[in-house]
Amino acid sequence: MNIINLEGTEDTPKILLDKDNGIFEISGRSLPEDSQGFYQPILDWIGEYENAANPKTEFVFKLEYFNTASSKLILDVLSALEEIEGTVIHWYYLEDDEDMQEAGEEFSELVDLEFEFKEY
């Protein structure tokens, strides 16, 4: 399976999806001009990964900020991960960032996945 390794920019998050090393991470800022276009390869990758998933998938979200359009696609990513048994979401947020903590809590109520919340 191909590795997706995108460096983050001012408007797009760092994405690392590496099945062989068990690294699944979206981090940084997410406000791409075309959210659907940006996230579609990630959704496609998860769909392919689902067919031969690792026994445990620990997916890290370490977002500093995301816009409304990105929130819909993040929910789509989480919904795709629901199909993969043994997935745990690690939702990181800055110590004083109540908005990002609440966003993770809201996502956790919308999908049937185990969430672990971690301050940093």
- pLDDT digits (tens), the chain, 120 positions: 999 999 999 999 999 999 999 999 999 999 999 999 999 999 999 999 999 999 999 999 999 999 999 999 999 999 999 999 999 999 999 999 999 999 999 999 999 999 999 999
Task: Indicate whether this model's pTM tops 0.85.
Answer: yes
Distance CA(112)–CA(82), nearest Å, equals 6
Q: Which CATH architecture has domain 21-119?
A: 3-Layer(aba) Sandwich (3.40)
Q: Supply the DSSP string of 4-62, one letter for each residue.
A: EEE---SSS-EEEEETTTTEEEEEEEE--SSHHHHHHHHHHHHHHHHTT--S-EEEEEE
Supply the pLDDT for residue 35. 97
- The answer for 22, left when phi > 0, alpha when psi is -120 to 50, beta otherwise, is left
Structure tokens of 118?
A: 């971690």
Supply the pLDDT for residue 17. 98
Distance CA(69)–CA(25), nearest Å, equals 19
Is residue 92 a contact partner of residue 62, using CB atoms and an 8 Å limit?
A: yes
Supply the pLDDT for residue 3. 98
**Residue ranges of domains in the chain:** 21-119
Q: Which of 113, 45, 35 is nearest to 74 (CA)?
A: 35
Taking residue 14's Cβ as centre, other Cβ atoms within 10 Å add up to: 15
Supply the pLDDT for residue 90. 98
